């Protein structure tokens, strides 16, 4: 199973990495769900099949934006309301009467581990001490401290550095945009410029103190 740490926001790529029976995440109406415990509790049930088929994917289209519940329809023969399940019945969504007796997993906060980023950004992080240069996809909603956490896999002492942009010290409690590093993707699109043409760079300056981090 892929390892992960609790985050406020996740990228679509991070969710997509959890795409197996033993490691199943999905996104739903902007939330990221870790359904591993749900699968363990119902292991062997045919009602897991629709969920396992979409592991690592977004299933917002299964749900109604307004009610935040599974979409319903009026049965053309019986003229009764039932779940609309073209993907097949799944856990807690087999019959309306049954679901009303329990908290369905999509309303259970224990399965929610964070939010799906509405917009990701690519930045360069340059270590001025070692001259290492890394490209990193981050969530636009994240603070620099959260971006630092992502960068730890490249440098476990990342907190021992001062983070700067063009010589200006950055506020680690703020986002890139709040630090004056705007997302210019829309401008690039208007000008028909590839979004890989320019990637903002952050420079790390070593503090000579390995006790930090």
What tens digit of pLDDT does each residue of 86-123 get? 999 999 998 765 555 689 999 999 999 999 999 999 99
C-alpha span between 101 and 99 (Å, rounded): 5
If pLDDT is split at 50, 70 and 90, which confidence band does 127 have? very high
Give me the mean pLDDT over the 64-85 stretch: 91
Between 190 and 144, whose confidence is greater? 144
**Closest among 49, 42, 52, 54 to 22, alpha carbons compared:** 52
In the prediction, which pLDDT does 102 show?
Answer: 81
In the prediction, which pLDDT does 78 show?
Answer: 82
Q: Residue 176 pLDDT more than 80?
A: yes
In the prediction, which pLDDT does 147 show?
Answer: 97
If pLDDT is split at 50, 70 and 90, which confidence band does 6 have? confident
C-alpha span between 18 and 26 (Å, rounded): 8
Looking at the whole model, is its pTM more than 0.85?
Answer: yes
Poorest-pLDDT segment among 11-20, 49-58, 65-74, 194-203: 194-203
Residues 57, 26 contacting (CB under 8 angstroms): yes
Between 53 and 191, whose confidence is greater? 53
In the prediction, which pLDDT does 128 show?
Answer: 96
In the prediction, which pLDDT does 1 show?
Answer: 41
In the prediction, which pLDDT does 12 show?
Answer: 97
What tens digit of pLDDT does each residue of 140-169 get? 999 999 999 999 999 999 999 999 999 999
Torsion angle defined by CA atoms of residues 44, 48, 54 and 56, in that order, rounded to the nearest 10 degrees: -70
- Helix residue ranges, H only, the chain: 12-16, 36-41, 49-53, 96-99, 144-151, 185-190
What tens digit of pLDDT does each residue of 9-64 get? 999 999 999 999 999 999 999 999 999 999 999 999 999 999 999 999 999 999 99
Strands 120-127 and 201-206: parallel
């Amino acid at each position: 199973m892929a390892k992960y740490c609790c985050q406020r926001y996740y990228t679509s790529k991070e969710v997509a990495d959890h795409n197996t029976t033993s490691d199943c995440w999905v996104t739903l109406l902007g939330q990221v769900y870790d359904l591993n415990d749900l699968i363990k509790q119902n292991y062997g049930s045919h009602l897991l099949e629709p969920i396992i088929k979409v592991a690592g994917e977004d299933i917002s289209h299964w749900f109604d934006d307004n009610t935040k519940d599974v979409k319903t329809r009026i049965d053309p023969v019986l003229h009764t309301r039932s779940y609309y399940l073209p993907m097949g019945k799944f856990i807690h969504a087999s019959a309306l009467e049954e679901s009303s007796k329990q908290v369905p997993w999509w309303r259970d906060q224990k399965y929610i581990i964070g939010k799906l980023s509405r917009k990701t950004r690519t930045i360069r992080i340059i270590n001025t001490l070692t001259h290492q240069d890394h490209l990193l996809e981050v969530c636009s909603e994240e603070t620099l401290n959260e971006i630092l956490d992502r960068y730890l896999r490249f440098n476990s002492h990342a907190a021992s550095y001062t983070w700067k942009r063009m010589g200006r010290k950055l506020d680690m409690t703020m986002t890139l945009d709040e630090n004056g590093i705007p997302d210019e993707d829309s401008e690039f699109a208007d000008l028909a410029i590839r979004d890989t043409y320019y990637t903002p760079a952050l420079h790390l300056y070593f503090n000579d103190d390995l006790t930090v981090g």
